[in-house]
Amino acid sequence: MSKRLAEKGFCRTHHSYAVNFSANDHISYQPSGDGEIRLKMAM
């Protein structure tokens, strides 16, 4: 399934979540290694 999602522009960010990179606004990382993905607002 991950391979099919990747072909459509998605990336798995957690075992329960996948994010479409075209919807990505910003990625930031904490010193602990955790990250936060901010998505673009839908219009």
Indicate yes or no: pTM above 0.85: no
Domain count, the chain: 1
Kindly report, residue by residue over 10-29, the tens digit of the pLDDT. 988 888 888 898 888 999 99
Q: Are 39 and 23 in contact (CB under 8 A)?
A: yes
Measured CA to CA, the distance from residue 33 to residue 8 in angstroms comes to: 27
Q: Domain of 32?
A: 2-39
Mean pLDDT over each residue of the chain, to the nearest integer: 87
Q: Which one, of 18, 24, 23, lies nearest residue 4 by Cα?
A: 18
Q: Are 10 and 19 in contact (CB under 8 A)?
A: yes
Q: CB neighbours (10 Å) of residue 9? A: 12
Measured CA to CA, the distance from residue 30 to residue 16 in angstroms comes to: 21
